[in-house]
Amino acid sequence: MAFSVVMPALEMAQETGKLIAWRKKEGDKVTKGEPLLEIETDKAVMEVEAPADGILAGITGSVGADIPVGQTIAWIVAPGEKPPAEKESAAAAPAARGKTESHSAPVVPASPQPTAPTGARISPKARRLAKELGVDIATVRGSGPGGEILASDIQAATAAPTGTAAPAKSGNLEVPTTLGRLMAERTTQSWKTVPHFFVTREIEGTALNAYRDKYLAEIERTHSIRITHTDLLVALTSRLLLKHPRLNSSFTAEGIRFHDQVNMGVAIAVNDGVVAAVIANANTASLAEIAKQRRDVAERARAGKLRPADIADATFTISNLGMYHVDQFTAIITPPQAAILAVGGIADRVVAVEGKPTVLPMMTITLSSDHRAVDGARAAMFLDDLAEAIRDPNQLLG
């Protein structure tokens, strides 16, 4: 039986994906679970795994093309079997869908030719982008199913030449990458729609430094991984979050959704922006396991090889700029998460101890919270517990 390979939906509200590369060619044998192709979404470049064993055939997805989610781009068939003809694809897709991985989106019929925009549909993302860029949607032809106007159509409209020459402007223009556009859109949307508020604590880092020094060599020897302050903060924070469920929740139209596990997002700088890679089930992972997950996803992020699971389902995020010698900052929440923790560097400062000036290693952390899910008292209590854990990591990590 033939299995359809479709452009998957790897993100909420994703409309299209750009096909970057095929890892296999027509006629190659493929194994379920091995990397089959690479696609670029609004968030990152990711590998997509083969949904079944068989022979790759009937490739229709062209490298470099923006393809609607759900569209069949190839087939995996048994040896000697031919891929379904185009007219059979729509009928065969439901059966194939039941056999594919959960990340494969439903197959949709091939899109008709773009139609005039009069009365045509427009996606929410495209409508928002059109408003931000000042594009008149009545002048845009939709390339999506049924002539629907997609975000890519709006972007193309802004780049299209017009009958009137644009006024000359001085300076250089840097065209944002896909990740750059995403960061601009999501941070703007979050800042406009999420009621942020901030709580800050200054905490002594002596014990945190000592704990890292104590286990650094041992974990490096036994697991070939070097633990960082970020790893320690992920371990401590994730264990505390289940005690403070509002901080590990999502605000939805139906109410506040609480998460049973902590999937910790860690902000990672890449060439063209920042991605929040996810350390799954961080609240039950050992320090060494956290460090290994963090290193692996960071390497894939910087190489542009993130997998869908690497960026999915984060319930809380930590952004640490201490390595850049930043003392303090505030971070913008990533919806639908309810909070994000901004971490500054540990540096010697003069503080009062029993009324006398003393030099101690200090750090400043700032919690940004969605006030719809987390009130000030809950945020303060969480930071108080986190401060205690940083001053004595042994109480949570042993």
Q: Which residues are catalytic?
A: 371, 375
Strand partners, 368: 198, 340
Q: How far is CA 74 from CA 57, 92, 103, 147, in A?
A: 6, 13, 16, 23
| Tokens matching residue 159 | 């780049």
Q: What angle do CA 374, 378, 379 make, to 5 degrees?
A: 75
Which of 219, 214, 186, 182 has the alpha carbon at shortest distance from 295? Answer: 219
For residue 357, say if its preceding peptide bond is cis, omega within 30 degrees of 0: no
Q: Reduced to 3 states, what is the DSSP secondary structure of residue 160?
A: coil
Q: Fill in the amino acid letter for 8.
A: P
CA distance 261 to 247: 12
Q: Reduced to 3 states, what is the DSSP secondary structure of residue 361?
A: strand
CA distance 267 to 311: 11
Phi, psi of 356 (to 5 degrees): -120, 145
